C-alpha cells in the first residue's frame, strides 16, 4: 500500500544535467541543451502545486525561470540539495558509473535508476542484443567505424554482401550508438548514401567513433512508456509487474525520422492510442514486450521505448530510453510542452502530477543490497 505520510514528509530536490557527458568506450551521449532543466522545473512546479515539499536553490522560485527549481548534478549541487533538507533526489539527468549520485544512494531516496544500469542501457546496440537474447522483438543492427576492429566493420568496406550477413538490406538507418532522441539519425536508401551518412556522423565526433546501422522499419511508429513494478497504477494500487499506459502514435516524420522534440513539440505530431487501438493484437504484443524489457534493463522508474512496425505488421523495439523527457504543461508559456510519457499517462487517466506522484512513491534507497521504497509500506 502507499504511505501517503511518507510522501508528504519527504522534501524533494530535482537534479539537472550539469556534468559533461563522459566518453565511454569511445562513445559519447551528447548533452541536451539546458541539461533537462526545463523538465526539472516542470516537475518541481507540478509537485509543489499538489503540496509536495520541493527544495529549491532560491527562496521563491519563479515559474518562468528553469534554474530556480533545480540543482546541478555535481558533487557541490548534490551537497547543496541535501544540505537544504532534501530527503529525495529526483535524478532528472543522465546517470553513469561514477556519477556523484552514487555517494548518497544509501542515504537519500532517489527517483531514477541505478547509475550502472543506465550506463549499460545507453549503449543502444548492446541493449538491443540483451533484449533479443531475452526473446523480445528488436530491430536488427550492426556497427561500423572508420577502421575495422573486432565485431565492427570499416565504413568503406560495407557492401550488400556484408549487410546481408548481418541480416540487413537497404533502406537502413544510420544513428549514434549512445544517442539522444533523433539527433544524428538518418535513413539511407543507397550504399553511397550509407557511406556518406556514416562518415559525416563519425567526422562530427559528437557521439564518438562508432556508428550503428539499423534495420529500417517502414510501418507505424509507437512510443511505449513503461512503469516498473512497485509503482502505483492509475487505480492507486501497487503494480506487481511492469505495465504500460496506452502507446503514443508518432506522425509527420521528416525523411522517415521523427523530428527532434527541441525543434517540434511532440504534442504537434503525437497522439495516444484509444483503448480499442491499444487492444489490437500487434499493439498488445509490443506492449507486453516493452513491459518485459523493463526487467531486462533493471528499470526502477519510468522508461520509454520507441517501436515501429515492419512490413509484416509486427512491431519491433528499436530505441530504449532510460531517461525519457518528462516535460509537462503547467508553467506559464508551456501549454504545448507535454512529453510523450505525459501524453501516455493522460491516456491512462492520470494528470501530469499523478504521474509524478507515482514516480515519487517508487523512490528508492539501497542499503546493504536491500531496496527500500519511499511510499511503499508493503508488497514491494
Q: How many separate domains does the chain show?
A: 3
Same domain, yes or no, for 171 and 239?
no
Q: Which of 24-28, 93-97, 113-117, 341-345 has the lowest mean pLDDT?
A: 24-28
Q: What are the tens digits of pLDDT across the range 177-212?
A: 998 878 889 999 999 999 999 999 999 888 889 999
- Residue that finishes a domain, picked among 157, 190, 215: 215
The answer to whether residues 171 and 244 belong to one domain is no
Could you tell me the residue range of the domain that residue 152 belongs to? 140-215
In 3D space, the residue among 245, 251, 260, 266 whose CA is nearest the CA of residue 340 turns out to be 266
Q: Mind listing the pLDDT tens digit for each residue in 145-185?
A: 999 998 899 999 999 999 999 999 999 999 999 988 788 89
- Within a domain: residue 29? yes
Residue 270 domain-assigned (yes or no): yes
202 with 247, same domain: the answer is no
Instruction: State the Cα–Cα distance between residues 244 and 284, nearest whole angstrom.
Output: 10
pTM score of the predicted model? 0.95
Do 162 and 63 reside in the same domain of the chain?
Answer: no
Residue 145's nearest CA partner among 214, 209, 215 is 209
In sequence order, what E strands does 19-135 have? 23-24, 27-28, 54-55, 70-72, 88-91, 109-111
For residue 345, give the C-alpha cell.
499517462
Q: 3-state DSSP: the chain helix, strand, coil percent, rounded to 5?
A: 30, 25, 45
183 belongs to a structural domain: yes
Amino acid at each position: 500500500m502507499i504511505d501517503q505520510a511518507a510522501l508528504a514528509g519527504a522534501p524533494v530536490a530535482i537534479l539537472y544535467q550539469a556534468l559533461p557527458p563522459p566518453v565511454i568506450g569511445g562513445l559519447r551521449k551528447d548533452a541536451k541543451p539546458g541539461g533537462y532543466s526545463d523538465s526539472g522545473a516542470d516537475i518541481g512546479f507540478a509537485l509543489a502545486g499538489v503540496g509536495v515539499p520541493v527544495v529549491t536553490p532560491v527562496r521563491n522560485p519563479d515559474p518562468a525561470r528553469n534554474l530556480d527549481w533545480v540543482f546541478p548534478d555535481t558533487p557541490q549541487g548534490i551537497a547543496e540539495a541535501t544540505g537544504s533538507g532534501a530527503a529525495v533526489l529526483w535524478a532528472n539527468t543522465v546517470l553513469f558509473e561514477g556519477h556523484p549520485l552514487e555517494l548518497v544512494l544509501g542515504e537519500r531516496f532517489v527517483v531514477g535508476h541505478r547509475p550502472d544500469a543506465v550506463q549499460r542501457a545507453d549503449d543502444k546496440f548492446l541493449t538491443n542484443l540483451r533484449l533479443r537474447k531475452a526473446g523480445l522483438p528488436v530491430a536488427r543492427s550492426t556497427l561500423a567505424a572508420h577502421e575495422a576492429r573486432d565485431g565492427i566493420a570499416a565504413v568503406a568496406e560495407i557492401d550488400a554482401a556484408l549487410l546481408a550477413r548481418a541480416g540487413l538490406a537497404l533502406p537502413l538507418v544510420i544513428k549514434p550508438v549512445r544517442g539522444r532522441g533523433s539527433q544524428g539519425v538518418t535513413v539511407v536508401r543507397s550504399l553511397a548514401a550509407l557511406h556518406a551518412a556514416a562518415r559525416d556522423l563519425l567526422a562530427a565526433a559528437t557521439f564518438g567513433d562508432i556508428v550503428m546501422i539499423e534495420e529500417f522499419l517502414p510501418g507505424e511508429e509507437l512510443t511505449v512508456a513503461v512503469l516498473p513494478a512497485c509503482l502505483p497504477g492509475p487505480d492507486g494500487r501497487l503494480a506487481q509487474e511492469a505495465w504500460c499506459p496506452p502507446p503514443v502514435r508518432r506522425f509527420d516524420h521528416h525523411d522517415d525520422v521523427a523530428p527532434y522534440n527541441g525543434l517540434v513539440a511532440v504534442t504537434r505530431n503525437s497522439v495516444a492510442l484509444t483503448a480499442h487501438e491499444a487492444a489490437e493484437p500487434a499493439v498488445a504484443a509490443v506492449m507486453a514486450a516493452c513491459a518485459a524489457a523493463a526487467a531486462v534493463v533493471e528499470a526502477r522508474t519510468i522508461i520509454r521505448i520507441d517501436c515501429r512496425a515492419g512490413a509484416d505488421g509486427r512491431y519491433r523495439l528499436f530505441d530504449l530510453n532510460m531517461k525519457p523527457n518528462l516535460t509537462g504543461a503547467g508553467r506559464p508559456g508551456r501549454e504545448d510542452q507535454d512529453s510523450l510519457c505525459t501524453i501516455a499517462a493522460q491516456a491512462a487517466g492520470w494528470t501530469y502530477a499523478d504521474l509524478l506522484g507515482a514516480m515519487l512513491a517508487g523512490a528508492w534507497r539501497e542499503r546493504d543490497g536491500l531496496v527500500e521504497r519511499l511510499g511503499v509500506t508493503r508488497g514491494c
